[in-house]
């Protein structure tokens, strides 16, 4: 979809058009899933975070100042929702582990396992940079970190993944 069409959808959604908003959410659903999974490492919690994010975006879309920052705005809300879910999860005890879906692609599973081996501070930055295509300064702004910290964590994340693949790959 072109930026013009995307901008049109954002303007329509800000005007409370539910169809335009639903189409926008469908456009960004896969990106939201990757970010949520990188933080929460659980499909069910990621789905909850996405659902909470969609509701919050619908309620707050009038606060979006510039439509070219829609994806950044959406991702920031998602990250906050993921952190809220993680806080709630700390107070709960897991009763059982959920089995991995049988139909999952093996290469996706291997990459997901490699990401799981990283600390969250590296995992979220690696996901935003490589999967979502955000620039370092955008990630720094989203996570409220200095740009140098994002660069350092990105480099250390790469190094840790390299060690993981040498050991298990």
Chain segment 5-23, per-residue pLDDT in tens: 788 999 999 999 999 999 9
Residues in the chain: 169
Q: Does position 95 have pLDDT exceeding 90, yes or no?
A: no
Contact at 8 Å (CB) between 9 and 25?
no
Contacts 24+ apart (CB under 8 A), 77-82: 77/53, 78/32, 78/35, 78/36, 78/49, 78/50, 78/53, 79/35, 79/39, 79/124, 79/142, 79/143, 81/36, 81/49, 81/52, 81/53, 81/56, 82/35, 82/36, 82/39, 82/40, 82/45, 82/46, 82/49
> Domains, the chain, ranges and CATH?
1-98 (1.10.1740.10), 104-169 (1.10.10.10)
What local confidence, expressed as pLDDT, does residue 133 receive?
85
The closest of 67, 20, 37 to 131, measured between CA atoms, is 37
Q: Does position 101 have pLDDT exceeding 50, yes or no?
A: no
What average pLDDT does the segment 102-118 reach?
A: 68
What local confidence, expressed as pLDDT, does residue 165 receive?
84
What local confidence, expressed as pLDDT, does residue 100 receive?
46
Q: What angle do CA 82, 87, 93 make, to 5 degrees?
A: 115
In percent, the amount of the chain with pLDDT more than 70 equals 88
φ, ψ at 145 (rounded to 5°): -125, 155
For residue 99, name the pLDDT band (cuts at 50, 70, 90). very low
In percent, the amount of the chain with pLDDT more than 90 equals 54
Span 24-72, pLDDT tens digits: 999 999 999 999 998 998 899 999 999 999 999 999 999 999 988 999 9
Query: Rg (Cα) of the chain, in Å, rounded?
Result: 17
Q: Does position 107 have pLDDT exceeding 60, yes or no?
A: no
| The pTM of the whole model exceeds 0.85 | no
Q: Which tokens in the block code for residue 109?
A: 């599973």
Q: Within 13 Å and on the Cβ side, how many CA atoms surround 72?
A: 17
Question: In a 3-state reduction of DSSP, which class is residue 41?
Answer: coil
Instruction: Give the span between the Cα atoms of 159 and 117, in whole angstroms.
Output: 12
Query: Which residue would you say has higher pLDDT here, 2 or 58?
Result: 58
């Amino acid at each position: 979809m072109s930026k013009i069409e995307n901008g049109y959808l954002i303007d329509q959604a800000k005007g409370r058009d539910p169809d335009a908003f639903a189409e926008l959410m469908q456009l960004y659903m896969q990106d939201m899933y990757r970010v949520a999974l990188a933080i929460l490492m659980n499909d069910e919690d990621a789905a909850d975070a996405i659902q909470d994010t969609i509701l919050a975006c619908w309620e707050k879309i009038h606060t979006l100042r510039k439509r070219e920052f829609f994806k950044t705005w959406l991702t920031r809300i998602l990250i906050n929702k993921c952190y809220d879910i993680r806080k709630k999860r700390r107070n709960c005890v897991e009763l059982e582990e959920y089995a991995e879906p049988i139909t999952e692609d093996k290469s996706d599973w291997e990459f997901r396992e490699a990401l799981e081996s990283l600390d969250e501070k590296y995992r979220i930055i690696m996901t935003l940079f490589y999967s979502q295509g955000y620039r370092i300064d955008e990630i720094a702004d989203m996570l409220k970190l200095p740009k140098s910290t994002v660069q350092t964590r990105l480099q250390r994340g790469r190094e840790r993944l390299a060690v993981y693949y040498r050991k298990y790959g």
